[in-house]
């Protein structure tokens, strides 16, 4: 941790001198799981993966999944059976009935959560459906939606702060699971196991990073942004679960006068 802090400080200093952000290698692993089964890999020819920047459309990487189907004991039931059903009648769903006269390859696109647009993600999947072959049985058609909901509560966007009156600006954020489930200390989603922090930029250039800590109140995290020279600063608050890579962000701006 000490080495990382020194490295980040050096990176920030270089960014300030050069006026450009320092790129950092970021590993991404994509796996595709067969519904009610295991991972799709080399034995089936793999699955093509395309990674794009959603805002610009830039293709960042392409490839094909390779490797085995995974550890059966970890993925399936201990007794060798199939995975347990997850849904019951209380589980949220969209229900419809289609009149099909032939097998159709149907694509499902999902986007949400709609009440949290800053955290919303899109996901899609395709599946063959035959007339009378209901997809309402079991868990139905399950599409994984990654992400965390992050709401920056303080400072309000474009809030003005006098550099002569304060040394720092308080930053508070609410962090939840995509289902709205709370993150608490020692809870099912343990606040102590999440990394929450902020990236601070001025005129599009990164100038620093600061950590946010759990406040003791459900899903609430806070930290301090140092007040330096005047200007308009963008604050990007991120939440990250190092156990599975789940990530969410929100943004705000503050004017240092």
What is the domain partition of the chain in residue ranges? 29-72, 100-145, 148-256
Identify the CA nearest to 161 among candidates 210, 221, 233, 222.
Answer: 233
Burial class (CB in 10 A: 0-12, 13-18, 19+), 240: middle
In this predicted structure, the answer to whether residue 21 has a pLDDT above a threshold of 80 is no
Identify the CA nearest to 162 among candidates 106, 227, 90.
Answer: 227
What is the share, in percent, of the chain residues with pLDDT greater than 90? 58
Query: What is the predicted pLDDT for the residue at 80?
Result: 66
Give 80 or 241, the one with higher predicted confidence: 241
How do 159-161 and 246-256 pair as beta strands?
Answer: parallel
In this predicted structure, the answer to whether residue 65 has a pLDDT above a threshold of 90 is yes
State the Cα–Cα distance between residues 121 and 237, nearest whole angstrom.
Answer: 17
In this predicted structure, the answer to whether residue 1 has a pLDDT above a threshold of 90 is no
Interval 240-253 mean pLDDT: 95
Query: What is the predicted pLDDT for the residue at 20?
Result: 58
Residue written as tokens 């039931």? 77
Q: What is the pLDDT of residues 87-117, one digit of tens each?
A: 888 999 999 999 999 999 999 999 999 999 9
> How confident is residue 243, by pLDDT bands cut at 50, 70 and 90?
very high
Give 75 or 254, the one with higher predicted confidence: 254
Query: What is the predicted pLDDT for the residue at 17?
Result: 46
The superfamily in CATH containing domain 148-256 is: Immunoglobulins (2.60.40.10)
Of 39-43, 152-156, 161-165, least confident by mean pLDDT is 161-165
State the Cα–Cα distance between residues 213 and 186, nearest whole angstrom.
Answer: 15
> How confident is residue 7, by pLDDT bands cut at 50, 70 and 90?
very low
> How confident is residue 154, by pLDDT bands cut at 50, 70 and 90?
very high
Going by C-beta distance under 8 Å and a sequence separation of 6 or more, which residues neighbour residue 229? 163, 256
Q: What is the pTM of this model?
A: 0.83
Mean pLDDT estimate for the chain: 88
Residue written as tokens 């020194």? 6
């Amino acid at each position: 941790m000490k080495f990382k802090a020194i490295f980040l400080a050096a990176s920030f200093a270089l960014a300030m001198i050069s006026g450009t952000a320092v790129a950092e290698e970021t590993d991404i692993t994509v796996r595709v799981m067969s519904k009610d089964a295991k991972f799709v890999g080399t034995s089936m020819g793999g699955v093509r993966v395309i990674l794009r920047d959603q805002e610009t459309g830039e293709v960042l990487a392409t490839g094909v999944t390779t490797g085995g189907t995974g550890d059966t004991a970890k993925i399936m039931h201990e007794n060798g059976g199939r995975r347990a059903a997850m849904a019951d009648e209380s589980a949220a769903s969209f229900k419809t009935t289609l009149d099909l006269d032939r097998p159709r390859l149907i694509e499902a696109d999902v986007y949400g959560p709609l009440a949290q647009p800053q955290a919303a993600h899109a996901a899609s999947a395709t599946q063959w459906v035959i007339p009378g072959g209901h997809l309402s049985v079991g868990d139905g058609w399950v599409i994984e939606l990654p992400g965390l909901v992050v709401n920056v509560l303080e400072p309000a966007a474009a809030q003005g702060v006098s550099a002569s009156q304060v040394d720092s600006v308080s930053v508070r954020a609410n962090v939840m699971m995509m289902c709205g489930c709370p993150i608490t200390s020692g809870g099912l989603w343990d606040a102590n196991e999440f990394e929450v922090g902020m990236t601070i930029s001025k005129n599009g250039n990164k100038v620093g990073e600061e950590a946010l800590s759990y406040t003791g109140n459900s899903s609430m995290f806070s930290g301090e942004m140092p007040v330096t020279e005047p200007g308009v600063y963008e604050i990007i608050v991120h939440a990250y679960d190092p156990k599975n890579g789940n990530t969410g962000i929100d943004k705000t701006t503050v004017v240092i006068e």
